[in-house]
Amino acid sequence: MAGVSTLALALAVSRAGALGSLATGATPDAAVVAQQLAELQAATDRPFNVNVFCHQPPAPNPVHDAQWLAYLRPFFEDLGSEPPTSLPEVYPSFRVNDALLRVLVAARPRVVSFHFGLPTAAQASALRQAGALLLACVTSVAEGQAAAALGADALVAQGIEAGATEACST
C-alpha cells in the first residue's frame, strides 16, 4: 500500500495483535524510514513488518525521458505549471539502496517483506543475520521457487485480483 500506508496504521495493527506493516516503497529516503522505525519501536513492543520494493531498476534512458517531457509540456503549461527537467525513478528499488539496508539491519525489525522481486543474496543474508523473518510476495511458481532458493521464510501468494500485478524479474 505504498503511498497510503501510514506509521499510525502499522502501529494500530500491531497493537491490535496482528502484524502491522510499514511500507517503504514510496519513502526512498532511508533517514525517514529510520525515524519511522524508531517511532514504531518506541510505541510498541509488538512485532511489525517492513515492506520493501525489490524490482530491477530501470536503465537510464535520457532520450526517452526527453520525449516524454516534451509530450507532457503542453499539459503542464495548460495548468500554469512548469514541467520537471528530468524523470526520476518514483519508487527506487531496495536492491540498490545500501542506506536502507543499513537502516533495517540496525533497526532489526522482526519481519521484512519483499514486493516486485527479491533482494540480492547478500541483502537477504544481512537481514537474516539481523534476526528478521523474510517474506516474499510472489505471483508465479517461478517467483516462488526463486524466493525459496533465496531462503525466504514464507511466501505471500498474490493473484491478479490483488491489483496491478505483473510478472517481476527476480
pLDDT tens for each residue of 22-46: 999 888 799 999 999 999 999 999 9
pLDDT tens for each residue of 97-143: 999 999 999 999 999 999 999 999 999 999 999 999 999 999 999 99
Residue 3: is its pLDDT beyond 50?
Answer: yes
Please indicate, yes or no, whether residues 106 and 50 belong to a single structural domain of this protein. Answer: yes
Please indicate, yes or no, whether residues 123 and 134 belong to a single structural domain of this protein. Answer: yes
Whether 168 is covered by a domain: the verdict is no
- E strands along the chain, which residues? 20-23, 48-53, 111-115, 133-138, 154-157
Q: Give me the number of domains the chain comprises.
A: 2
Please indicate, yes or no, whether residues 44 and 71 belong to a single structural domain of this protein. Answer: no
The domain of 78 spans 60-90
Q: What is the pLDDT of residue 165?
A: 43
Asked if residue 116 lies in contact with residue 55, where contact means CB atoms within 8 angstroms, the answer is yes
Residue 146: pLDDT band (50, 70, 90) is very high
Please indicate, yes or no, whether residues 20 and 71 belong to a single structural domain of this protein. Answer: no
The last residue of a domain, from among 71, 90, 109: 90
